[in-house]
Amino acid sequence: MKLFLPQTQLEEWALEDKADVKDGVLVVTGETGVYPVVPAVHIVQLVTGEDTNRLVAKVKTEQQLESLGAEQMADSVLLGETAYEVVPGYVAEVSSPSDASSEDGKAGSETDLLAAFLLNKMG
């Protein structure tokens, strides 16, 4: 399962010593698991041009943007003559509970805890 984490939220968690991104992984304080993350943006709205690529309300990684020929600058993405407002952040990879293969269910419970933590903070 993939979760989008806005940069501002991650900065708040880091200041509160709750979680941080280090070396491409999300480390949640008090959790033993780490969650791989990749830089991404949530495309919030169209600023100019036409959304011919239907990107509004989508999350795209830096690599996906690059493959489209798009360029990110702060909280904007430019794709040809089209400009979008974006929220920078990361996509976190978390295994869904059905993917948990640990006999004691710990991996599933860690995923559940992270999902609950994120949902409570994001809600």
* Percent of the chain whose predicted confidence (pLDDT) is above 90: 61
| Residue 23 CA: distances (Å) to CA of 33, 37, 39 | 14, 9, 12
Which two structure tokens, joined as six digits, stand for 114?
Answer: 């992270």
Q: What is the distance between the alpha carbons of residues 43 and 86, in angstroms, rounded to a whole number?
A: 4
Instruction: Kindly report the pTM of this predicted structure.
Output: 0.77
**Mean pLDDT to the nearest integer, 28-43:** 89
pLDDT of residue 102: 43
Contact 21, 10 (CB under 8 A): yes
pLDDT, tens digit, 9 for 90 and up, residues 76-110: 999 999 999 999 999 988 765 554 444 444 445 55
